[in-house]
A and B are shown apart, each in its own frame.
Chain A
Amino acid sequence: MSTRTIAGKTVQMNDEGFMTNPSEWTREIAAEVAKEEGLPDLNTSHWKVIEFCRSDATSSGKSPTLRRITTATGLSTKEMFALFPKGPAKKVAKISGLGKPEGCV
């Protein structure tokens, strides 16, 4: 476990680049991490997904799977891949300051 300073804030992060304390997250951090993930401009659709993931994780204690996101937001999997290319659930979890989704065990 290590710490990292992003967008002027020091946060805890694991080896895979996932934040380990969701309460340290800010929207500025999201924008910065998104940039590193190849998404320089987050639009309203991106934020809709990020906000869903944040609120879902607050109640469930874990990152939602891709299927959970598409079921809840009404976005198709295809649209999710367009918004967050290459592993949407993982990417959005990272940007949202949440742990790696547990979909695969």
Chain B
Amino acid sequence: MRVPFSEPRRLHTGDAMATLHTRSAARLMIAPSVLLLLAWMIVPLAMTLYFSLLRYNLLMPGMEEFAGLTNYTYFLTDPAFFQAIFNTLAIVLGVLFITVVGGTALALLLDQPMFGQGIVRILVIAPFLIMPTVAALVWKNMFMNPVNGLFAWLAKLLGLQPFDFLANAPLLSIILIVAWQWLPFATLILLTALQSLDEEQKEAAQMDGAGAVSRFIYLVLPHLSRAITVVILIQTIFLLSVFAEILVTTNGGPGTQSTNLTFLVYAQALLQFDVGGASAGGIIAVILANIVAFFLMRMIGKTLEA
């Protein structure tokens, strides 16, 4: 990979002494962050790796023993694990679909001339600023509740039977709640990207007789592709770890119907006190996230060079 700022700045070419002085000072200034993050990365992760090889339950202290890969085989053959992997992917893909499609549409809309654009922007951004526990509880109680929720009232108004969202479609309900929180993020980033599209280019295309649809496909979409990639990758990192929304709405249930990998590991660790099993699950989660991170890092690495 090409290093973007390998060319030394003029600043440092003048005085060799000053450069040397600055270099060591610079190292000293970077050191605290590097050491802290290094510790934060290595120590707990090494511990997780070590625990994952032990039979270790907090309810039976002093009984720890080496267990090889037992925890992994236990975790990987647990039916709940496959359900959790499925749910994790369903949440990631479901939310991504809603937010990218919806966000693109909303960004295109907000880019049009209108009255009170600033206020609409503020309204649309708001859900992203709401803490996850509040968002999830407001949706759960005041909207999705089958007796007192607003959706139940709307259903009755239309002569339909109220639907118990969180009992009958727990995963879908969680996807909707999380999508509501992340839609503003996608919209905001795509709108920012859209606003950097050259106005003259759009006009030239229009004069050449390109219709709205072909302008969108051949001009706008290619321009947005980078921003869309950024949205997808960053959201994926966060969506793999959805936790609070599940904790306060369904608690992973009914059964394990809405348990994702993060929640499964949490339950294994802090509800069943199975340190070994939870650690194995944690390592699996780390591996999954690394696959995604690999692509994200390459994306952002490229933008550094630009």
A binds B: no
Chain B residues with CB under 8 Å of chain A are none
